[in-house]
Structure 1
Amino acid sequence: MNSDAFRVLVVDDEPNIRSGLAKGLAREADTVHTTGEARDALYKVDRSHYQLVIADVRLNCGMTGIDLLKRLQDSHPQTAVIVITAHGTVEMAVEAMHAGAFDFILKPLDLDLIRQQVRKAREYYRLRIENQQLRKRLAGAGDVSNIIGGGAAMQSVFQQIRQVAATEATVMIQGESGTGKELVARALHDLSDRSGGPFIAVNLGAMPESLLESELFGHEKGSFSGASRQKPGCFEQASGGTLFLDEVTEMSAKSQVDLLRVLESRQFRRVGGESLLHTDARVVSATNRSVDELIADGSFREDLYYRLNVIPIDVPPLRGRREDIPLLVEHFLADFCLRHQRPSKRVSPEAMQTLASAHWPGNVRQLRNLVERIVVTHPDDVIQVDELPTDFAPRPRSSRTLPHSLAEAVEGCERETIELALQACNLHRERTAKTLGISVRTLHYKMGRYSLH
């Protein structure tokens, strides 16, 4: 049997519906089989692989089409199911869609509509096959735990991950926002002897100082207002696994002391508790800031840095691994076309060259968001260069004269960099400030100065 063939099974207790759909869908599928019984349908799907099942709700056999849908979702989740009925209600449609139905169609059946939905299901299946094949091909290009990169820069990172993963050493991952630092941390966990244990990630930059101690170390019932029950912290939850501390350089001075104490002793107390608890969590941290500068200005402890940075891994920015951009674009296109049930798309050579030469202040995250936008908003199968967002389209040669001074040139460059960072961060000012390595207050001032509000 051809594993790529698109096979459809029609389940309806009315013979005329079965025969009508079998004939009407003959050109939309490689094979169309029919049955009037839900249990026979389960038997057929178990024996032969069907990509699509079209099932009536009322089957007069002790099992409804909704029941069949739920059974198939459990046993054959890759099989799409279209539910049809002559007695539909809003509640039934909601139940079917929540149970995972590909679509819900009312009788009398519009054959053109059925054909359209079958074509969509077939395209969805084709995209899934392409996505699986792409993942296999990317694995040969150095894919490590879903990190895509075939160039020398990422191959060096992959080599470090493989060398370090099996050890117990603490690792600090440094790189700009959006470069994939958490993916590196997950790869370290997945390739380690701790892979069967928990992977707990906490973003310290997004955590209010008042909650950070409780988040990391847990708290006892009644230890503060609102503490209605005992809660284990991240160090406790991650014991036997990996604790990933993202944006670790955003911690306050007190929290840095608390973290250093745990790293040195492997012991801690819950907030409001007296007993010393032990943690076996391996700590992996990450930052997008220059730690040397933070140590120099006294905002980050040097002794804590040495504890965290036993093994440093630097993740390159996307502009430092441009050879990977076509691979990433192809991967994201396949992924988002499948996720949003869109026809497959490709990028023209000219558009790909434009993407490969862009600055990418938001790195892989920015590229991923851009590709999703293209998949959702562009109906064409081939994305041309003039269909890229204006900030990525080729810019005409400037007819302006040279700046009058070096200061004017610097200001122009600064304005453009801030504008690109705002776009990459979807105008989120706190993330933009962190990406640029400045305070939110400084960002607000510069936005006002350059009229970027």
Structure 2
Amino acid sequence: MNSEPFGVLIVDDEPNIRSGLAKGLAGDADRVDTAANASDALGQFTKEEYQLVIVDVRLNCGMTGIELMQRIHESHPQTPVIVITAHGTVETAVQAMRSGAFDFVLKPLDLNLVRQQVRKAREHYQLRAENDQLRSRLVDSGEIANIIGNGSAMQDVFQQIRQVAATEATVMIHGESGTGKELIARALHDLSDRSQDPFVAVNLGAMPESLLESELFGHEKGSFSGASRQKPGCFEQASEGTLFLDEVTEMSPKSQVDLLRVLESRQYTRVGGEQLMHSDTRVISATNRSVAELIEQGSFREDLLYRLNIIPIEVPPLRGRREDIPLLVEHFLESFCKRHHREPKRLSPAAMRILTDAPWPGNVRQLRNVIERIVITCDGESIHADELPLDLRKPKPGEITLPNSLAEAVEGCERQTIELALRACDLHRERTAVTLGISVRTLHYKMGRYGLH
């Protein structure tokens, strides 16, 4: 966890509340300060850094607690705020949550509940701080294109990219599906002297054999049925730029010979043509298969491998770079919340732990899809472990998955029970409250807490 000191500011116009909370929270924070009104609180922020603010909704002087929270978030958007209210109804607390509060507690205060909320806020703040540090170190180390990763495995890849990009050597990128091989190819292009010229990508695994020659080298008008006009191929389109051949090991033996000839002579002709075309194109290829096994089986030419694999780059699978998963999750959450017009979301520590421990056979592409799905389908600001896809939550044979604490387990069970009861009662809140044996007010509070509105 982050070692940064954790400071709490308590803002309440009642001296007994201020002193009682300050004394009760002394063991949960490195520093606890107090302020009697909004003006004093804002003054404190000019002198000290606080990682959590606890504020009463109603303050006697000047602005309200919610207005103070909004002012704090203008200059310190990452600082969580817990709101205290004893006035009005649950709607007041809901308004606070919609205005950006981390959570709320009701008077008369239950110190154990407040301490629990403070611990959750501290964990939330530290998780954000760790991810911010990862981002900062990534920038310092020189982020490449849109590739995200700060672990040692990806730093080795970044170093190779920087060493190789400016050369004319052919590069073969090896890695499982979904690891981002095309992103690396684009990074090699963007950091090369060819960056102002075209980058052309073609997936050879998805290309029918009958069309592959025309796709790579182009064709003349009338060279075959349906060739109604002259068409430049990928080599011509990528002239003086970079041609990325994905799934290159899926090529037929004939196509392998054609490609080898171009790499050796730097010349080719269009299908149906006689004019010799010159190729000034850098070739980068990629495969998700073992080339050594394919050569041994006789399905891939060894001499072609020598031409393509002058510089090999191995891309680690996501399970081999687990330290990068929190940073990737934060990046995808932010990206998809903006794309789908959702309020910012965060993962609970338990949910993040599940994602970090998952096997990810589909690698970064699979993680990206999971995050987009939960951004769309989860309504609350917090995404809990039980909202992740079931296949990720299933323990491995013989494995027992434990929550971080008993409180976390109880909360997860309570949330799931309320959700099931709401469905059984067709979302009728009064009937749901009766079914659960609680008041409607308590139900509203818990629905707001768990994002079940």
Q: TM-score range by the shorter chain?
A: 0.5 to 0.7
* Structure-to-structure mapping, 1:310-389, within 5 angstroms: 310-389=310-389
Give CA deviations for 1:224-257 in whole Å, capped at 9, x if unaligned.
Answer: 0010110000001101100000000000000000
Number of the residue aligned with 1:226: 226
Shift of 1:143: 2.2
The answer on whether the counterparts of 1:201 and 1:243 sit within 8 Å (CA) in structure 2 is yes
Secondary structure, counterpart of 1:344 in structure 2: coil
CA distance in 2, matches of 1:317, 1:156: 14
CA distance in 1, matches of 2:283, 2:396: 49
The answer on whether the counterparts of 1:141 and 1:149 sit within 8 Å (CA) in structure 2 is no
Number of the residue aligned with 1:167: 167
Would you say 1:249 and 2:249 are equivalent positions?
yes
Number of residue pairs matched? Answer: 274
Q: 1:326 to 1:222 in 2, by over 3 A?
A: same
Report the AA paired with residue 163 of structure 1.
Q
Report the AA paired with residue 300 of structure 2.
F
Secondary structure, counterpart of 1:202 in structure 2: strand
Shift of 1:386: 1.3
Query: TM-score, normalised on structure 2?
Result: 0.58
Number of the residue aligned with 2:283: 283
Give CA deviations for 1:341-384 in whole Å, capped at 9, x if unaligned.
Answer: 00000111111111111100000000000000010000011111
Shift of 1:395: 2.2
Secondary structure, counterpart of 1:375 in structure 2: helix
The answer on whether the counterparts of 2:164 and 2:188 sit within 8 Å (CA) in structure 1 is yes
Give CA deviations for 1:430-453 in whole Å, capped at 9, x if unaligned.
Answer: xxxxxxxxxxxxxxxxxxxxxxxx
Give CA deviations for 1:307-358 in whole Å, capped at 9, x if unaligned.
Answer: 0000000000000000000000000000000000000001111111111111
Report the AA paired with residue 335 of structure 2.
D
The answer on whether the counterparts of 2:201 and 2:245 sit within 8 Å (CA) in structure 1 is yes
Give CA deviations for 1:242-276 in whole Å, capped at 9, x if unaligned.
Answer: 00000000000000000000000000000000010
CA distance in 2, matches of 1:280, 1:134: 40
The answer on whether the counterparts of 1:217 and 1:271 sit within 8 Å (CA) in structure 2 is yes
Give CA deviations for 1:87-118 in whole Å, capped at 9, x if unaligned.
Answer: xxxxxxxxxxxxxxxxxxxxxxxxxxxxxxxx
Shift of 1:394: 4.6
Secondary structure, counterpart of 2:390 in structure 1: coil
* Structure-to-structure mapping, 1:59-138, within 5 angstroms: 138=138
The answer on whether the counterparts of 1:337 and 1:375 sit within 8 Å (CA) in structure 2 is yes
Secondary structure, counterpart of 1:212 in structure 2: helix
Report the AA paired with residue 295 of structure 2.
I
Secondary structure, counterpart of 2:336 in structure 1: helix
* Structure-to-structure mapping, 1:397-436, within 5 angstroms: 398=398
**Structure of higher CA gyration radius:** 2
Report the AA paired with residue 241 of structure 1.
G
Q: State which drifts further: 379-388 or 302-311.
A: 379-388
CA distance in 1, matches of 2:201, 2:242: 8
Number of the residue aligned with 1:11: none
CA distance in 2, matches of 1:149, 1:179: 12
Report the AA paired with residue 295 of structure 1.
I
Report the AA paired with residue 386 of structure 1.
D
Give the gaps of 5 or more residues in structure 1: 1-26, 31-118, 121-130, 400-453
Number of the residue aligned with 2:17: none
CA distance in 2, matches of 1:396, 1:289: 27
* Structure-to-structure mapping, 1:178-327, within 5 angstroms: 178-327=178-327
Secondary structure, counterpart of 1:369 in structure 2: helix
The answer on whether the counterparts of 1:142 and 1:148 sit within 8 Å (CA) in structure 2 is no
Would you say 1:149 and 2:149 are equivalent positions?
yes
CA distance in 2, matches of 1:393, 1:142: 35
Shift of 1:137: 7.0
Report the AA paired with residue 201 of structure 1.
A
The answer on whether the counterparts of 1:354 and 1:394 sit within 8 Å (CA) in structure 2 is no
Shift of 1:189: 0.2
Q: 1:136 to 1:200 in 2, by over 3 A?
A: farther
Identity %: 76
Q: 1:340 to 1:138 in 2, by over 3 A?
A: farther
Query: TM-score, normalised on structure 1?
Result: 0.58
Q: CA RMSD in A?
A: 2.4
